[in-house]
Structure 1
Amino acid sequence: MTVKVSVVIPVYNAEPYLPRCISSLVNQTLKDCEFIFVNDGSSDGSKAIIERFGCCDKRIRVISQANGGVSSARNTGIRHARGEYVGFVDVDDYVAFDMFYNLYKAAVEEDCDIVASNFQVRQDGALIMAKYPFPTNKKLTRGYIREHVLPYMLRSDDFNTACTKLYRRELLESRGIFFPEGVKLGEDGIFNMAFLSVAESMRYLSYAGYHYCEVEGSATRNAAKSDYYQRVLEVYQAEPPSVYIEVMAPHDISRLKSIKLISNVLDNIHIYLNESSLPLGSRLRYVKGMVAHQAVRESLPYYWEEKKNVLGSYHKLLLFLLRRRSLLGIYVLTGYSRYRNRNSGGKRNENHDVCS
């Protein structure tokens, strides 16, 4: 069988989620796939579950290694992939049956290096559809990627996730592009920046086949064990790939990085104030430290100037409280927002990334 798409799935102690994830993969309408499950040192029955499904479907491959983290497992999968394109799925999520058919079809129709799509997630009681501000269903050139996509990634985390994209394997191999290991958060963004820096073409589909499922202890919610703001600072202070120096002025690079910093701070405020496993005092002290940090104070004017004409009343008030360093006001306002979202039960569209 000629493998059209290799799907890499890192697995670590994922017994409860594996049957749903595997079923969504083996029932893909694109049959010429291989599913590479990298058992990353699991101590539960995950490997046995994968092997049981593999007895009925020879497209399932299991590779076991000592625990090295998500990036290490994905890199192992890349090295073993045989498909024209490589995609990624997190084991606690699932995909629509036509997802890889749609992405692969779009890739070969325009001979693209990368194809991206949307995703869905239920968060705080609301169904979020993540969308991006790029032209849909057409081939985007290297010039467009440099002028629009790469700057967008510098100013926002929205487009970071690797789980809604297909990558040309030949380009991954020839340029030696892998996920950074030893990074707690943001590895997807680093990987995508590296790939898009060398990609000649891209296609963005107005389609959402990936279903992100928040679970207890997920990377984006496990605030009790992670210092998210420290990682945000590391990203803010790090030098971007060299291609950025070629296409942007230093002032613009600094401005876009400042906008991303404040966006992450706003996300972290909601995550920490909603983290019930931490004592309230600890949560408030953490938020107070973020709000008072010099980098945040210096970046706030850039964010306000960029967003002031598009922000709703809630975010304008939150920024006002952030500028005033009003911890009590921030706590009351975000609490009201959580209450409203839980009781709305509605749907909303956002440019918001939850896969790191």
Structure 2
Amino acid sequence: MPQISVLVPIFNVEKYLRECLDSVVNQTLRDLEIICINDGSTDGSLAIIEEYAQRDPRVVLIDKPNSGYGDSMNKGLERATGEYIAIVESDDWIELDMFEKLHDIAVDQGFEVVKSNYFTYYADPARKALSDEKIKLVREDETGRVIDPSKNIHIFFQQPAIWSAIYRRDFLETNGIHFLPTPGASYQDTSFAFKVWASAHRVAFTSEAYLHYRRDNEASSVNQPGKVFCVSDEYAEIERFAAERKLSTEIWRILRVCKWGAYAWNIDRLQTDLAPEFIELAAEQFGAARASGEFNFEFCDVNQAREITELIEHPERVIERKRAQDAALVSVVMPFFNVEAYLRKSVDSVLQQTISEVELILVDDGSVDASADIAEEYFVRDPRVRLVSLRNSGQAIARNRGLELAHAQCVAFIDGDDYYEPDALETMREALLTHSADFVVGSIRPVFEPGMRSAMQKFEDEHYYEVRRSGLHEITSELLLDLDASVCNKMFLREAVENRGVEFPEGLRFEDAYFVNAYGLTSRSAYFLPPEVHVYNYVRRAGSTMATTFGNAGSAKDHLTVAFELFDFLEMHELAEQYGSYYMRLLDSYATFAFRHTEESDHPEIWSELREFIDLNRERLVELDAYALRNLEHRVFSGVLGRLNGAPALRRAVFRTGRALQSSLNRVLPRFSPGQRARQQIHADVTLLREQLAKSTAALSSQLVAQRRRIDEIAEQVNELIDERDS
């Protein structure tokens, strides 16, 4: 009996098949049975399978007429003889130690299922940033122990991802778990996964990831807009299984919530003309389940309850919402938190734009005032409005959630206490598309509430938020330096945001600056509206994010963290060489901002974090701009020391540590005079060059010695051959 039977369903995947099969046949666990089920392929897939079967006796070919994914998988299950079953889709590939690692866990305590995370994979260079992203299906606190899904119900709501696991074969057979044999590739993993979790009681999770899941195969079933009722077929199969097995009432209620998640996803992906019939079917089914008492919202959150209630009571409104969503020219994301006095004006400024085809995504970040009620009112009244309620998690998470729900080609942002100019969206969209730019920038008009800013501060705000250029420009470091940090006066391309992996850094303030820089650094061009064209009105009020950031608040430290994360982004996109000097100026600027707008008690922590970052990445930062790095270190370090003389209490504390410390400072401080510092730097540079030359000479000498030894060995072998010939 093989340790694992690997099922590989195959249909017209000659482009990807060799990569997939190579990753399976070369596994470090050799005791495998590799069952390739060819589902009537009309390309060269069959010939490739036959080639591998001739070379490797572990490869088993099942060749049959096309009958669909579910039937193919069932035939593979019938043929399998292994202790465990694994599934590898023929357009994916796996790490070479995947089965060894999962099998070691499985046999340790006889687990029925061992589940892992997985990686996304994109061959398209435009989506390179999304490749190798680790999708975390597994909770860290659930690894290393036995898990019973019936007591950990969140498992039911995960993506099925049936190929990131292995299953004990006798477990599947005993519980009658197989695939629904519907035609084509029709989301048959849905019922299979639910049956597994509803039946298993001994599951092991590992936080590691081994499988690379291809996301850019256009032939994949997930990319097909048809197959209207396949999801409902899957849930009919799940309900049959649940009734046959007499599963608990709790499992039935979980089933209903899972069903809504699948139905909502199906409604979202269907084309506008196909969705109404499915929506009516969904309304009928959920209405009947609620009326019979089989469904009572027990495991729903507020968003699911809102959507299901609307589906049951007003299916026609769901159809209207779907049509408005698909017709939207611009998606506007509006996070809000406790802004009841401002929210109506903000929402109206979006819904009353000169273009009516807008999608407004309201994200309530846990408001406890009347803001949520106001948003609910707009949601009920206007099908263009979508409402999402979150626990208070911060603006970055709220904006990211809004981005996930956006559908239009163009995307814009607005805060719930600000408002647009009436033609802002039309003006920005027209400029974006007409000039084929990556993004558009317009001026912001600050609106000051009484007592908020001095005359000088007002002047600074108005100058900062006024566009400094006009027309279409290629992206350069100089252009990026001219950009303000707000996302609210800009319009972006949604697909570009997704492909580049740009999102708001969660848990941080100043998340706008990260997003604008990350998007800008990966762009080719930007269009600037004339400076006098204001698109956005920014209300400067007490209690706003920026008001607290500039008030010696701890959140100003986040500027430094944003700079650190942008360094990682540059490295990931291989842009550090092109924008190295720009990044070093940005790091300097953000470090200065963090020191300037925080309490002195926070400065040691900021300095420590900056010091650690520089030490960790010194070699790379020197490559980007050595002069800028030296300048940053000298200036910041001098500034920290200078504070000793400017703060009597701090100076007295230093003196109290003893005369030894005072003597040390007296020896150190003179070294930082400009002349001495310059001499030290020249000496350090010369020393570094000498060390590099010595290393290069030593390496070359070592290579020459090795080559000489090799020549001597060859000469000796030649002499031996000559002696043998002569003898």
Change (3 A) 1:322 1:160: farther
1:246 maps to which residue? 248
Q: Over aligned residues, Cα RMSD in angstroms?
A: 3.9
2:497 maps to which residue? 340
Paired letter, 1:57: D
Deviations 1:178-203 (A, max 9, x none): 11111653321211222333323000
Residues 95-106 of structure 1: matches in 2 within 5 Å?
95-106=94-105
What CA distance in whole angstroms lies between the structure 1 residues aligned with 2:251 and 2:112? 27
What CA distance in whole angstroms lies between the structure 1 residues aligned with 2:84 and 2:500? 42
Cα pair 2:69 2:188 within 8 Å, conserved: no
How far 1:45 sits from its partner (Å)?
2.4
Matched, 1:166 2:171: no
Deviations 1:148-193 (A, max 9, x none): 24x642xx3x331221111111122233321111165332121122
How far 1:59 sits from its partner (Å)?
1.0
Q: Greater shift after overlay, 312-321 or 33-42?
A: 312-321
Deviations 1:305-324 (A, max 9, x none): 5699xx99496449989763
Cα pair 1:8 1:87 within 8 Å, conserved: yes
What CA distance in whole angstroms lies between the structure 1 residues aligned with 2:97 and 2:504? 23
Deviations 1:268-314 (A, max 9, x none): 53x45xxxxxxxxxx45556887899739989x95535699xx9949
Cα pair 1:288 1:327 within 8 Å, conserved: no
What CA distance in whole angstroms lies between the structure 2 residues aligned with 1:257 and 1:117? 24
Paired letter, 2:78: R
Paired letter, 1:178: H
Matched, 1:220 2:222: yes
What CA distance in whole angstroms lies between the structure 1 residues aligned with 2:165 and 2:105? 11
Change (3 A) 1:45 1:316: same
What CA distance in whole angstroms lies between the structure 2 residues aligned with 1:50 and 1:249? 41
Deviations 1:93-127 (A, max 9, x none): 11111111111111011210111111121479334
Deviations 1:235-276 (A, max 9, x none): 5677372468525186665455445544x25xx53x45xxxx
Deviations 1:17-52 (A, max 9, x none): 111011001111111111100111122322221121
1:132 maps to which residue? 137
Residues 149-164 of structure 1: matches in 2 within 5 Å?
149=153, 152-153=155-156, 156=157, 158-164=158-164
Q: TM-score, normalised by structure 1?
A: 0.75
* Contiguous gaps of at least 5 residues in structure 1: 273-282, 350-356
What CA distance in whole angstroms lies between the structure 2 residues aligned with 1:39 and 1:347? 44
Change (3 A) 1:173 1:234: closer
What CA distance in whole angstroms lies between the structure 2 residues aligned with 1:26 and 1:347? 41
Matched, 1:56 2:55: yes
2:205 maps to which residue? 204
Instruction: State the secondary structure of the residue aligned to 2:211.
Output: strand
What CA distance in whole angstroms lies between the structure 2 residues aligned with 1:78 and 1:25? 18
Cα pair 2:114 2:205 within 8 Å, conserved: yes
Cα pair 1:8 1:88 within 8 Å, conserved: yes
Instruction: State the secondary structure of the residue aligned to 1:139.
Output: coil
What CA distance in whole angstroms lies between the structure 2 residues aligned with 1:138 and 1:331? 40
Matched, 1:148 2:152: yes
Residues 18-167 of structure 1: matches in 2 within 5 Å?
18-122=17-121, 125=127, 126-127=130-131, 128-132=133-137, 134=139, 135-141=141-147, 144-149=148-153, 152-153=155-156, 156=157, 158-167=158-167
Q: Greater shift after overlay, 210-219 or 323-332?
A: 323-332
Which structure is larger by alpha-carbon Rg, 1 or 2?
Answer: 2
How far 1:81 sits from its partner (Å)?
0.8
What CA distance in whole angstroms lies between the structure 1 residues aligned with 2:143 and 2:63? 38
Change (3 A) 1:289 1:32: same
1:14 maps to which residue? 13
Paired letter, 2:114: V
Change (3 A) 1:250 1:312: farther
What CA distance in whole angstroms lies between the structure 2 residues aligned with 1:252 and 1:177? 19
Change (3 A) 1:51 1:105: same
Change (3 A) 1:339 1:62: same
* Contiguous gaps of at least 5 residues in structure 2: 291-296, 307-332, 336-359, 365-374, 387-404, 412-492, 507-727
Paired letter, 2:223: R
Change (3 A) 1:315 1:232: farther
Q: TM-score, normalised by structure 2?
A: 0.39
Cα pair 2:191 2:235 within 8 Å, conserved: no
What CA distance in whole angstroms lies between the structure 1 residues aligned with 2:279 and 2:495? 20
Matched, 1:295 2:283: yes
Paired letter, 2:146: L
1:353 maps to which residue? none
Higher helix share: 2
How far 1:77 sits from its partner (Å)?
0.9
Cα pair 1:10 1:37 within 8 Å, conserved: yes
